[in-house]
Amino acid sequence: MKIYIETYGCAANKSDSEIMAGLLLSNGHEIETNIQNSDMVIINTCGVKKSSEDRILKRLIDLSKTNKKVIVAGCLTRINLEKIKQKIPNFYGIIDPHSIHMINTVVERGGILFSDKPAEKPALPKYNFNNVISIVQILEGCLSACTFCGTKLARGRAISYRPSTIINSIKEDVRKGYKEIWLTSQDNSCYGKDIGVNLSELMNSIAKIEGKFFVRVGMMNPLHIKSYLDDLIDSFKNEKFFKFLHIPVQSGSNEVLKHMRRGYTVEDFVFYVKRFREEIPDITISTDIIVGYPTEKQKDFRKTVSLVKKIKPDVVNLSRFTPRNGTIAAKLEQLDQKIINKRSSEIHFLIRKILEKKNKKWVGWEGEVLIDEKNKVTTSRNIYYKPIIVDGNLGEFAKIKITKSFANYFIGKKIK
């Protein structure tokens, strides 16, 4: 059977799609890149935002009007199953994130398939959609209880995968020629808490794998890194790891963070960033900010603005708050959308202004990059994970010089 897979959301979702593709191929099916030529469509959904849910549901409704069999996978199956059933009653199959190892069963029989816990995902076959980057999931779920997030509803409590399984998966990726590894999950910082290890120890084991490759460590909640902060910083110093720290603060107000049940303070966040910058001065700091949380007053918002000015992060994933079905925050009185839009615009322009000025210091930088993306332009990454547009071939290591900077990317040229 010819099967088309369409993926929404985070790196973990992309990894789930690659695993499903690998399992389907091993069972004799074909992965079709053109939806028109497919017999069946798998939509791997995301439930992080209400706007994402609405867009995906519209897509599902449109597909349900075709003659194709539709399987719904991903986080939305657990977050809002009833809405999926209501909108597309003629679905062929539904499978949750914990059950992707049984995708062939759903493809062959249809129906709804949910599991209590996931299989050991790094040990499953996968079909990489990118010829340079391989995504490796290190755990499923999280240990937090944030009031605004649907992650726990979709993925459950954190279950860490065994270090040996992860190491073997990466060794196989490197053997096959992949040069960039993404360590991903819903929260990398709590890796191993259920099996007696931590992320730093896993990173140290990965660093011993032979071969030339870079590793990007995904998002880490500030709540869980305090107990092994110094070890984590030392692990990041290894030459195999991108100097890229994704640590979401969400708000610059302790009052809002407390209501969100984030489990850390603004001061904690500032301290962690300070320690990383002391030890790795040019490290790229990426953070997430939500504006318009229901309890966010104007004074809280001003504190977020002040924090951005103080920290001057290198990457900011800015979101306007939208209520998620089944969460505590969804039951609160919501802020006026005009207020949210105004605050979002102010932060957006502030971030852009900071980055346009901050990125100028990289003009003239010379060093090695890995060309890891080729769409309309060819993009490379240096050891600080800066996106640099440069001519070259996908998967190539090249020495370049940055010639121009912008708020969100750079332009470089090859040098000898």
Domain pair 130-242 / 244-361, same fold = yes
Give the DSSP H/E element, type plus range, for residue 168.
Answer: helix 163-175
264-274 pLDDT, tens per residue?
999 999 999 99
292 contact partners, CB below 8 Å, separation of at least 6: 320, 321, 335, 339, 340, 343, 344
Which strands, in side-by-side order, build the sheet including 244-246? 244-246, 284-291, 315-320
The whole-number pLDDT of residue 80 equals: 87
Angle CA 19–20–24, to nearest 5? 120
For the chain, the residue count is: 416
Instruction: Kindly report the average pLDDT of the chain as a whole number.
Output: 95
Average pLDDT over residues 266-292: 98
pLDDT above 90 (res 174): yes
> What CA–CA distance (Å, rounded) separates 411 from 388?
5
> What CA–CA distance (Å, rounded) separates 23 from 122?
13
Map out the domains of the chain as residue ranges. 2-113, 130-242, 244-361, 363-414
At the fourth CATH level, the homologous superfamily of domain 363-414 is Nucleic acid-binding proteins (2.40.50.140)
393 contact partners, CB below 8 Å, separation of at least 6: 371
Q: Given the structure tokens 């769409």, which residue do they identify?
A: 375
**CATH code for the structural domain at 130-242:** 3.30.750.210
200-218 pLDDT, tens per residue?
999 999 999 999 999 999 9
Distance between the two ends of the chain, CA-based, in angstroms?
A: 49
* Residue from 43, 47, 25 nearest 94 by CA: 43
CATH T-level assignment (fold) for domain 2-113 = Rossmann fold (3.40.50)
The whole-number pLDDT of residue 53 equals: 86
In percent, the amount of the chain with pLDDT more than 70 equals 100
Cβ(160)–Cβ(192) below 8 Å: yes
pLDDT above 80 (res 317): yes
Q: Given the structure tokens 């040990």, which residue do they identify?
A: 123
Average pLDDT over residues 173-185: 97
Query: Is the sign of the CA dihedral 164, 167, 173, 175 positive or negative?
Result: negative
125 secondary structure, DSSP code: -
Cβ(389)–Cβ(378) below 8 Å: yes
The whole-number pLDDT of residue 257 equals: 97
38-50 pLDDT, tens per residue?
999 999 999 877 7
The whole-number pLDDT of residue 54 equals: 87
> What CA–CA distance (Å, rounded) separates 99 from 118?
6
The whole-number pLDDT of residue 386 equals: 98
pLDDT band at 341 (very low <50, low <70, confident <90, very high): very high
pLDDT above 90 (res 166): yes
Which residues of 109-234 form beta strands (DSSP E)?
Answer: 111-113, 133-137, 139-140, 159-160, 180-184, 214-217
281 contact partners, CB below 8 Å, separation of at least 6: none
Which residues of 170-257 form beta strands (DSSP E)?
Answer: 180-184, 214-217, 244-246
> What CA–CA distance (Å, rounded) separates 197 from 219?
18
Average pLDDT over residues 56-68: 90
pLDDT band at 293 (very low <50, low <70, confident <90, very high): very high
Overall CATH class of domain 244-361: alpha beta
Average pLDDT over residues 386-401: 97
The whole-number pLDDT of residue 24 equals: 97
The whole-number pLDDT of residue 212 equals: 96
* Residue from 250, 81, 72, 78 nearest 150 by CA: 78
The whole-number pLDDT of residue 151 equals: 80
The whole-number pLDDT of residue 378 equals: 96
φ/ψ of 166, rounded to 5, equals: -65, -45
Taking the CB of residue 214, how many other CB atoms lie within 10 A of it? Answer: 23
Average pLDDT over residues 114-142: 95
Q: What is the torsion angle, in degrees rounded to the nearest 10, for the CA atoms of residue 99, residue 172, residue 161 and residue 244?
A: -110
* Residue from 113, 95, 8 nearest 53 by CA: 8
